[in-house]
Amino acid sequence: MQRHESVILVLRQQRSRSVRQDTRAGHRQALPPVLGYRRGEEDFRQPAHQDPRRRLREGQAVQPGKGPGHVQEGQIRQHLPLGAEGARLQQGLRGSGHGRVDRLSQPKVTPGRPKRMLARVFKRAVGVLADRGNRGDFGVSSRLAEARELAAAGDAEGAERAFASILQLVPESPEALHGLGRLQGVRGELELAGQNLAKAVRLRPDFAEAWVDLGNVHHMSDRLGEAVSAYRQALAADETSALAWCNLGMCQQKRSELADASESFRRALDLNPRFGVALRHWVGIQTKLDWPEGAPELLERWAARAPDHAEAHAALGFMSLKHRFRPDEALVHFDRALALGLSNAELHGNRGIALQDLGRIDEALASYDEALYLEPENRAVRFHRALARLLVHDFENAWPDYELRLLGEDTPRRAFPFPPWDGSDLSGRTILVYAEQGLGDEIMFASCLPDVIARAGHCVIECHEKLAPIFRRSFPTATVHGGSQHDGLTGPSRLPPIDCRVPIGSLPLHFRRRLEDFPHHGGYLKADEARVSHWRRSLAALGPGLKVGIAWRGGTRQTRQSHRSIPLEALAPVLEVAGAHFVSLQYDECRDELTALEAARGLTVHHFPAAIADYDETAALFGALDLVISVCTAAVHLGGALGRPVWVMAPAGPEWRYGIGEGAMPWYPTCRVLRQAVPFAWEEVILRVRHELSAHLDEN
């Protein structure tokens, strides 16, 4: 269809709709014909949300079959070769009563002048079609609306045909090109989508929505620089586009530009606090950045603007759980999110973690099961369910999913030139047991090393360099290499040929599948006896009485230090027990705390920095102590591995290593757990320790 024929077709479609209904009065009303026509002309230059057809119709309604709408069609027909159709239209316009029509239709009009006038009209009409056609002008908007409705309903094939039909009528319609390009992008035809979307924004540079979709195509094609540029063009056209800000943030996040991504997500959420995708990404970045100052308050402000938004409550719960370490507060938000209708594996999984931290293990396991019902292969949930199972000593079902820790994003990837051990016979073979996780974990899992050494032809042990002297003394038939988990094995010429490898944390999968598999040992690590004797003499100089080591702080902020630590001054009831001398086992700086305690309470806790700086020396000090009282920290593992008596002050929901009950730990028969009855309430635990320490002194 030629372009001028298209103009006439849509003018006829307009002319067939001549009146508007006044629904309030129940009768027909119309604007004066000239006024309606003029306002319609003005609307051709207005934004897309205004409808010029309505006002043109209002002008046509007064004199159906006559008036400016027919002038437009007649003018365009006069620009064409006249023919029978043109002559018929011209004849119909004569005598219309409209001066301009009459003059154009009279033979005595100067030849050429109407042609120039009509040429201008025709040129303008065609320009409107190209620039504004499918935004309401000339009837194309109904086709565009139909195409969009089909796309929204999921009929991609029908929508594509509809957009294509519009492009046959108006080949340079930015909106139709955009609609078609979006469908192609969803279908994965990225090259075609990019071409159509690029043409749409070329024709209409201020088309923000098309710029966003073009950015999405670039993003899906891993052309991140072009994607960022497209999103910025969208924002230049409309800086209030929350979608453009969000998609820009996701692209920046993929480029590891976390600060810029955080700001982009913030802009999106300032515009729309209910934007769930932006909120989830923003929360993820704050977690990576350890929740910088002001971030929690920003989240609370967005949530206050959308109090019934389930995603906001899920985010508040996550922040309370991971940043504030308040599982009680987190649980309130998670339950509120569920009540508001949100239900996904992430929410149920995080709710399980909160319940686990509160010591409500049966409920936590039920929440994990609900999450895995929704998403059976969710690794994070399966891993946390494994930790809950370990807490209740369900070792056989826990250890297989505990292996998922090796796939975590924070787990260092180690490249070795030898295969993993599959549990097969190790006779005559050399196996490498390599280090992972923290110092306490290496000590605890080292309880399995005697099992490996007994079965293998030879065992090579990689451990933290601090532990190397103790491990060499304790496992004399093995080759011990001290180093860093982030480095490769150095000095390979000094190591024997290796046949297979296993991370030390995977040994229990093979050797500790039931509670009965844990040996009743009296210690598997050995301190330097000469140094133990030295420390016994040093401690004897403090005077008669029990020599008690004490550790009140453990972990880091990321490992819930506040959840498992006790202020030193809060331990005053224990430190006041007569007949005991207390020795600090803190590995971090604590001299100011000790000085303040002595000044405020007159209580002395002795501190030997030389014993803490060297872990082999620390082991010797432990060997000389009569008792260790500690929160959940590496001191528990060292004392238990050395076979020393240890009392563990544990929170209601401790880490899995300490179990959920009281009494002896499976890993360390000489370690006894005293647990909070109420989450975050240490007073009862402290008074129990005081009471039992007094009783112990009376017995000895």
The rounded distance, in Å, linking the Cα atoms of 647 and 691 is 13
Q: How many helices (H) and strands (E) does the chain have?
A: 35, 13
Are 122 and 213 within one domain? no
Query: Last residue of a domain, which of 452, 486, 517?
Result: 517
Query: Last residue of a domain, which of 372, 405, 438?
Result: 405
pLDDT at 114 over 80: no
Task: Name the maximum alpha-carbon separation found in the chain.
Answer: 132
**Tokens 């290499």 correspond to what residue?**
481
The rounded distance, in Å, linking the Cα atoms of 38 and 44 is 10
Are 288 and 395 within one domain? yes
Mean pLDDT of 296-302: 96
Computed over every residue of the chain, the mean pLDDT equals: 83
Are 275 and 375 within one domain? yes
Are 666 and 552 within one domain? yes
Burial class, 412, CB count within 10 angstroms (exposed 0-12 / middle 13-18 / buried 19+)? exposed
- For residue 560, the model assigns a pLDDT of 74
User: What is the separation, in whole angstroms, between the first and last Cα of the chain?
Assistant: 107
pLDDT band at 483 (very low <50, low <70, confident <90, very high): confident
- For residue 141, the model assigns a pLDDT of 86
Kindly state whether residue 286 falls inside one of the protein's structural domains: yes
- For residue 117, the model assigns a pLDDT of 55
Kindly state whether residue 72 falls inside one of the protein's structural domains: yes
Pick the closest to residue 547 from 598, 605, 602 (CA basis). Answer: 605
pLDDT at 463 over 90: yes
**How far is CA 145 from its chain centroid?**
36
pLDDT at 164 over 50: yes
Residue type present at position 436: E
- For residue 116, the model assigns a pLDDT of 55
Total domains in the fold of the chain? 4
The HSE-up count of residue 293 (CA atoms within 13 Å, CB side) is 0
Mean pLDDT of 333-344: 97
pLDDT at 342 over 90: yes
Q: Report angle CA 206, 210, 213 to the nearest 5 degrees.
A: 145
pLDDT in tens, 559-580: 777 788 999 999 999 999 999 9
Q: Report angle CA 513, 649, 668 to the nearest 5 degrees.
A: 35
Mean pLDDT of 109-138: 49
Task: Return the SS3 of 458.
Answer: strand
- Beta carbons of 527 and 620 less than 8 angstroms apart: yes
Are 398 and 487 within one domain? no
pLDDT in tens, 181-218: 999 999 999 999 999 999 999 999 999 999 999 999 99
Angstrom distances, CA of residue 533 to CA of 415, 468, 540, 700:
43, 21, 11, 21
CA dihedral 562, 567, 573, 577 (to 10 degrees): 110
pLDDT in tens, 577-593: 999 999 999 988 889 99
Pick the closest to residue 213 from 234, 192, 241 (CA basis). Answer: 234
CA dihedral 168, 171, 173, 179 (to 10 degrees): 60
Q: What is the token pair recorded at 196?
A: 């159509």
- Beta carbons of 388 and 361 less than 8 angstroms apart: yes
Kindly state whether residue 147 falls inside one of the protein's structural domains: no
pLDDT band at 110 (very low <50, low <70, confident <90, very high): very low
Are 565 and 647 within one domain? yes
pLDDT at 299 over 80: yes
Kindly state whether residue 143 falls inside one of the protein's structural domains: no
pLDDT band at 412 (very low <50, low <70, confident <90, very high): confident
- For residue 409, the model assigns a pLDDT of 80
- For residue 653, the model assigns a pLDDT of 86
Q: Which domain holds residue 340?
A: 188-194+204-405
Are 513 and 536 within one domain? no
pLDDT band at 115 (very low <50, low <70, confident <90, very high): low
Q: What is the token pair recorded at 679?
A: 């989450």
Are 323 and 280 within one domain? yes
pLDDT band at 5 (very low <50, low <70, confident <90, very high): very low
pLDDT band at 118 (very low <50, low <70, confident <90, very high): low
Query: Last residue of a domain, which of 360, 389, 405?
Result: 405
Residue type present at position 84: A
- For residue 134, the model assigns a pLDDT of 42
Q: In CATH, what number is assigned to the domain containing residue 547?
A: 3.40.50.2000
pLDDT at 125 over 70: no
Mean pLDDT of 228-256: 97
Are 490 and 567 within one domain? no
Angstrom distances, CA of residue 627 to CA of 203, 545, 575, 696:
81, 12, 13, 10
Q: In CATH, what number is assigned to the domain containing residue 357?
A: 1.25.40.10
Are 539 and 457 within one domain? no
Are 234 and 311 within one domain? yes
Mean pLDDT of 592-608: 95
pLDDT in tens, 47-94: 444 443 343 333 333 333 333 344 344 333 333 444 443 443 344 334
Q: What is the token pair recorded at 274?
A: 């209910």
Residue type present at position 180: L
- Beta carbons of 391 and 356 less than 8 angstroms apart: yes
The rounded distance, in Å, linking the Cα atoms of 116 and 691 is 109
pLDDT at 543 over 90: yes
Kindly state whether residue 256 falls inside one of the protein's structural domains: yes
Kindly state whether residue 416 falls inside one of the protein's structural domains: no
- For residue 663, the model assigns a pLDDT of 86
- For residue 35, the model assigns a pLDDT of 32
Burial class, 188, CB count within 10 angstroms (exposed 0-12 / middle 13-18 / buried 19+)? exposed
Q: Percent of the chain, pLDDT > 90?
A: 70
Residues contacting residue 73 through CB under 8 Å, at least 6 positions apart: 8, 11, 12, 15, 89
Kindly state whether residue 573 falls inside one of the protein's structural domains: yes
Q: Which helix (H) or strand (E) is 188 found in, with range?
A: none
Are 101 and 234 within one domain? no
Mean pLDDT of 541-553: 96
Kindly state whether residue 423 falls inside one of the protein's structural domains: no
Q: Report angle CA 351, 357, 362 to the nearest 5 degrees.
A: 70
DSSP states along 495-531:
SPP--EEEEGGGHHHHH-SSGGGS---S-SS---HHH
pLDDT in tens, 421-447: 999 999 999 999 999 999 999 999 999
Give the lowest-confidence range in 118-127, 259-268, 335-344, 403-412: 118-127
pLDDT band at 627 (very low <50, low <70, confident <90, very high): very high
pLDDT in tens, 635-690: 999 999 999 999 999 998 888 999 988 888 999 999 999 999 998 899 999 999 99
pLDDT band at 44 (very low <50, low <70, confident <90, very high): very low
Beta bridge partners of 675: 650
